Structure 1
Amino acid sequence: MQTNADAQRDLDALTALNLDFFASVQEGDVKRFEEILADDFMSSQPDGTLLDKAKFLELTAQPVTISGLVAEDVRIRVLGDFAIIHGRFDSRSADGKPRRGRYTDNWARRDGTWAAVSAHFHLDQDG
């Protein structure tokens, strides 16, 4: 049975990982993604494509074209050894236009460590 201290530790770890995920997108940090993404990670992109970890890392290695990426309204739900992070994001495209959307990242505790197993994000119609 999980104690309040264990629950808080999970929330703290997942909060930090969520920040790492965002920083890795903004900075094109392939190395950090290699550490926090599960080997079977999958990402749903706004254009409908589904990327495995290798393809996601290839995309991450491309020059970063967004700026000012921030997470808002983050909600973390821990369900035993599985967690779901819901949130909004704001950023600017290469031409300076605002981009807003929502994201959902799924995390699984494997061998005592949280790993991202899937990610999905979409852009708002006006962003």
Structure 2
Amino acid sequence: MNGTKQSAEDLAILEQLNLDYIHSDEASDAKRFSEFLAEDFIVQTPGVTRNREEYLEYIAKPRPIKDIALRDVKIRILGDVALIHGRVTYTMIADGVLQEALYTDVYQKREGTWVCVSACAIAPGA
């Protein structure tokens, strides 16, 4: 398989994983997250660092947000590591205020499968 084909396939997989991450966040779908988060996954949001188990527990609870919309996404594949930089908007359920968040997710290809190893979000209220 040549590098271009591999990159196109990897890009398509990473685009779908990014969408799955966003939709699973809004839907509190911890089961889907458990399918693509690495065992050593770490996430940081303002003031909080969580490991995989803590994050799955957190995400399973009803989310305080709705109507997440992707605004900007840039995927950079660097060998067996990929960085996904994005911007989303969402609405806070409690008060209807529209918020914006920036995020960077790090994926690594392990044994032929892309898994999310790290996430960092600047996300007020989420």
* Same fold? TM cut 0.5: yes
Residue in structure 2 matched with residue 30 of structure 1 by the alignment: 30
The superposition leaves residues 45-64 of structure 1 with CA deviations (integer Å, 9 ceiling, x where unpaired) of 12x21100011011101112
Residue in structure 2 matched with residue 11 of structure 1 by the alignment: 11
Structure-2 separation of matches of 1:29 and 1:81: 26
The superposition leaves residues 2-57 of structure 1 with CA deviations (integer Å, 9 ceiling, x where unpaired) of 521111001000000000000100100010000010000000012x2110001101
Instruction: Determine helix, strand or coil for the equivalent of 2:11.
Output: helix
**Which amino acid is the alignment partner of residue 121 of structure 1?**
A
The aligned length equals 124
Residue in structure 2 matched with residue 67 of structure 1 by the alignment: 66
Unmatched segments (≥5 aa) in structure 2: none
**Which amino acid is the alignment partner of residue 35 of structure 2?**
E
Structure-1 separation of matches of 2:9 and 2:50: 30
For normalisation by structure 2, the TM-score amounts to: 0.93
Say what the alpha-carbon RMSD is for the aligned residues. Answer: 1.5
Instruction: Determine helix, strand or coil for the equivalent of 1:44.
Output: strand
Deviation at 1:123, TM superposition (A): 3.0
Instruction: Determine helix, strand or coil for the equivalent of 2:114.
Output: strand
Structure-2 separation of matches of 1:91 and 1:2: 39
Residue in structure 2 matched with residue 84 of structure 1 by the alignment: 83
Structure-2 separation of matches of 1:77 and 1:32: 23
For normalisation by structure 1, the TM-score amounts to: 0.93
Identity %: 40
Structure-2 separation of matches of 1:51 and 1:68: 24
Residue in structure 1 matched with residue 21 of structure 2 by the alignment: 21
